[in-house]
Every structure is written in C-alpha cells, then in structure tokens.
Amino acid sequence: MNIEDKDIASLLHWYMESGVDESIGDEALDWFAISQTATQKPTKQKPVASAQKTSPRVSTDQIAEEAEKLAASCNSLDALNDAINRFDSCRLKKTATHTVFSDGNSDSNIMLIGEAPGVDEDRQGKPFVGENGSLLDRMFKAIDLNRKKDFYLTNILPWRPPGNRKPTPEEIAICMPFIKRHMELFEPKLIILLGGISASNLLKSSLGITRLRGKWTEFDLNGNKIPVRPLFHPAYLLRQPKAKGDTWKDLLEIKVKIEELSL
C-alpha cells in the first residue's frame, strides 16, 4: 500500500469515527429544505362520521308510558297475559326464564299480590311455588282457604330480578301499569299484599312492612274502596320464624273480614 492509499484509508477511518455512515451522491441535495419538511407537523385528519348513529336513550317515564298504553288496551286477563309476554322494554325480561303472570282461581274475590318471582317461580312460570308457596298454602289453609278455589295470586313484577335482588324503583315504575290493570280486570273484593315492596308501592307509603301490617287500609280501584291487608311475605317468615305469631293474628282478622263481606 502506497502513501496515497494510506491517506485514503486514514480519511475513511476518520469519517467513520466522526459518525459519517453515508457517501455523498453525484447530485447535490438541499438538506435545508429536507430538514424543514421533516419538522413540519403532520396534518390531522378529520374523524370520519359514523354511518350508524346511536339511538337516543329511552327514559323510564317513556317506557312506563308504553306499558300503560299496552295495559289499557287489554280487556281481559288473557289479553293482559299475552301483552306482558310481548313486552320487551323491561330489562328484567332479558334475564328471566319465564314471565310469571298468575295462579289460583281467577273467578274468586280475593287477590294476593306479592313482590317478584323467585328462582322457583322463574323456573315454573307460576307465583308462589317452592318453599314460599308451600308455606303460603299452609298459612291460608289454616283459615280454610285454598288457592285452587278461594283466591288468586300474582306479583307486582312478572319477571325475576337477577339473583333475587330487590327490584329498582325504575323497574317497579315500568311494571306498575301492568299490576294496576291486572287489579282492574280481576275486580277483587279483598286485597292481601304480601311483603314490603308490594305494600309500600301499591299503598304509596314510605313505611316498611313491620309498620304497615296489623291494620286494615283501603285501595281506591276506579272509585271503589277495596279493603287491603298487608302481610309478611312467606320468604320473610322462613327467615324470621318469630314473625309467624303476628302473621297468625293477621290471618285470623282476614278470616273475620271474609265472613263480614260474605266472600
């Protein structure tokens, strides 16, 4: 290697040490213009409008109004049952197995209204079955009443809340037109409310069942004053057996009222 070659090698080595890793081309480049382009901020693209618009959320009042119109169009218990089965605007229906409408004698004069179906009711599609139903039947058998001939059973809500949780005020408001129309079509002469949810909501009271039970009150059904007696729910009695003594007193007073009304 001659001196000139050594000089070229030394120069290349110096370039590499200095960080030069590209050779210069034959054509001159405007590095200033290139650097200016690289530092410019990219233009933001406007978001593309979605072709599908989100539908506005329907309020509880709107759903309740829909339920009220549907209930008012029914002129029989069968028509109401069919209407409730077709009603899809209550979210409880989406998680329920069955719509629970009623049981008992629809030609009787006594109407029992509970709160909401439980797991057994949801499976069988009837109110007050399983342990709750067995206890209820024994309770009323003690005062000579039989569900097949003497009274009629339903709930405020026709669908079971998931996990047997307490229904929300919104769910009750949506279902309330159905139970009111249910009462109008059945035309009871005596109403028994089972549990705090049915008692407080139908009587429009802020009191709990322990304060509401033990006394008679009235329900205004299209101008007719119907006697009402709130009772502990059978599910509560299974959890609190001590309350059975108070319930027995209530049942005896119900028997007296039935005799007075000749029901």
Query: How far apart, in whole angstroms, are the C-alpha atoms of residue 78 and residue 64?
Result: 21
pLDDT at 9 over 90: no
Query: How far apart, in whole angstroms, are the C-alpha atoms of residue 53 and residue 153?
Result: 44
- Assign 58 a pLDDT band (cuts: 50, 70, 90): confident
Least confident of 43-52, 98-107, 142-151: 43-52
Query: How far apart, in whole angstroms, are the C-alpha atoms of residue 160 and residue 118?
Result: 6
Mean pLDDT, range 208-235, rounded to an integer: 97
Spatial CA neighbour of 145 closest among 217, 45, 251: 251
Q: Are 238 and 130 within 8 A, CB to CB? A: no
| Amino acid 51: pLDDT | 43
3-state SS, residue 225: strand
Query: How far apart, in whole angstroms, are the C-alpha atoms of residue 191 and residue 154?
Result: 11
| Exposed e or buried b per residue across 232-257, where buried means at least 16 C-beta atoms within 10 angstroms of its C-beta | bbbbbbeeeeebeeebeebbeebeee
- Assign 112 a pLDDT band (cuts: 50, 70, 90): very high
The pTM score is 0.78
| Amino acid 30: pLDDT | 59
Query: How far apart, in whole angstroms, are the C-alpha atoms of residue 148 and residue 225?
Result: 26
CATH topology for the 60-261 domain: Uracil-DNA Glycosylase, subunit E (3.40.470)
Q: Which residues pair with 75 in a beta bridge?
A: none
Cβ neighbours of 3 (radius 10 Å): 7
72 or 32, higher pLDDT? 72
| Amino acid 48: pLDDT | 46
pLDDT at 203 over 70: yes
| Amino acid 55: pLDDT | 47
> What mean pLDDT is reported for the chain?
88
Mean pLDDT, range 38-64, rounded to an integer: 62
Taking each helix axis from N to C terminus, what angle separates 77-86 and 169-186, rounded to the nearest 10 degrees? Answer: 160
Mean pLDDT, range 242-260, rounded to an integer: 97
